[in-house]
Every structure is written in C-alpha cells, then in structure tokens.
Amino acid sequence: MTALSVNIDHVATVRQARLVGYPDPVEAARLAEEAGAFGITVHLRQDRRHIQDHDVVELRRVVSGRLNLEIASDEPMLAFAERVGPEQVTLVPERPDEVTTEGGLDLVGRGDQVRAAARRLVAAGIRVSVFVDPDLSQIAALDDQDDVTGFELNTDAYTRASGAGATAEFEKIQAAAESGLAAGREAYAGHGLTVANVGLVAALPGVSELNIGHSIVSRAVLIGMRAAVEEMLEAMEDG
C-alpha cells in the first residue's frame, strides 16, 4: 500500500494565530504516527508563518518514521537543514506572497541551483527529493540531478479539475510518474488531496508515498487527528 506522510503545517497555523503554545505540532505528529502514518512532513517557510525552527528540532527528536522537511534552496534554509539533519529534504519553490506553494520547481531553468543544494544536503547525510509539476520536461531534467533520490508530483491541478479536465490532469501525473520511475527515481505525490480524490493517485503503480496535510488537519479539527489519518488511509486503500 502507498505510504502516507502527514503534513502538520496547519496545526502550527492555528497555534500561530494566537501566538500561544497550542495546539502542539509535535503532539499532532505523534498522534498521526500512532494512527498509521509512515512519516511526517513540515514546510519551514522563510516567513515562519506556521512551522518554527524549534518545531523541526523537536520533531527530529521524536518522530519515529521519516521526517521530511520542505524548504527553499537558499543559504539559511540549507544551513538549518544541515544542522538538524532530517531524514529527507524536499526542495520546493517559495514566494512570500503566495498562500500556499503554487507550483513545482523549475528544474529546467534553475537546475544549477537545485544541483548545488542537493549536493550539500547529501554530503550532510540527507536524502533529497524535489517538488515538481507533472511535466515531462521537468522529469527529463532530473537526469542532470545525480544527488536527487526522489520526486514529488504536484497534484494540485488534478484536484481542482473535474470531468474530462480531471482525467487529463491525472494522465499527466501518470505519465510523469512512469517516466521518473523508469529513470530510477522514487515517485511521491501530493498537494490538494482529500479522501474524495486520493484514490486514483494512491493506486498509481510505483508511487510509494503521498504527502497530505491541509485536508487531514481540517478534518482533525472535527473528528481528531487519529480518526482523520485513519480515514485518509482507508480512502487510499480503497483506491
């Protein structure tokens, strides 16, 4: 079965809304793992709008599965990752005025920057993934990224489409996954996935992990973190 990495960013979003000590993202991570999550994902943004440095440090200490740290490939973020040493870093694009990550990395236009960042992280003992759109030109550009182990396909366009449009977007994801897997990379997927649309993506051959956050945290507000994670895992298995 495809593994689930739970992104707990928006637990921290609720906490930061009042600048208090709760809800605790670390406790959310513990509950998610108890419910069957393979790992935990957090995005340490440059503006620190949700996850904070100390959250990542504590998560590194207590997460029993794989801690996947999403960061931009700039100097302060790379230096922080080297110090903390998560199992995996996923390099993502980031703009200060975006509500959430709006697209994948441009490996075609910024390949040199990604290559240098990946080399540093691998030297520190950290495996590297990149967040990319399901565009075959971007997947082909992975051929020049020797230190990148895996790629996470951006499923946002698929989750926003309907009918024939959703079918077309899903076919792009499928083709991109097949291309990257054939080149020997590990394939992941995520962004905008819910229990209603996760099934087809979870069933894609070779896609080993889904990174899902907002929909799980939103559901957890109503039914609790354990139940929300179990609900998502069930939807993935049904797919």
Of the residues 10, 50, 70, 152, only one is catalytic, namely 70
Residues 6 or more apart from 140 whose CB is under 8 A from it?
179
Return phi, psi of residue 136, to 5°. -65, -25
Count the domains in the chain.
1
Task: Give catalytic status of residue 94 as yes or no.
Answer: no
Tell me what pLDDT residue 99 has.
64
pLDDT in tens, 186-232: 999 999 999 999 999 999 999 999 999 999 999 999 999 999 999 99
Q: Answer yes or no: 54 catalytic.
A: no
Helix/strand/coil for 56: helix
pLDDT in tens, 13-56: 999 999 999 999 999 999 999 999 999 999 999 999 999 999 99
209 is catalytic: no
Provide the residue range defining the domain that includes 24: 3-238
Structure tokens at 166: 């959703």
Note the pLDDT of residue 103: 84
| Mean pLDDT of all residues belonging to the chain | 96
Encoded tokens for 201: 């993506």
Distances (CA, A) of 167 to 10, 163, 172, 221: 29, 7, 9, 31
Banded model confidence at residue 102, pLDDT cuts 50, 70, 90: low
Name the active-site residue from 10, 43, 50, 209: 43
Which one-letter DSSP state was computed for residue 190?
A: E
CB atoms within 10 A of CB 23: 19
The CATH number of whichever domain residue 21 belongs to comes to 3.20.20.70
Global confidence as pTM: 0.95
Residue 47 contacts residue 96 (beta carbons within 8 Å): yes
Of the residues 50, 94, 152, 191, only one is catalytic, namely 191
Measured distance CA(36)–CA(39) in Å, rounded: 9
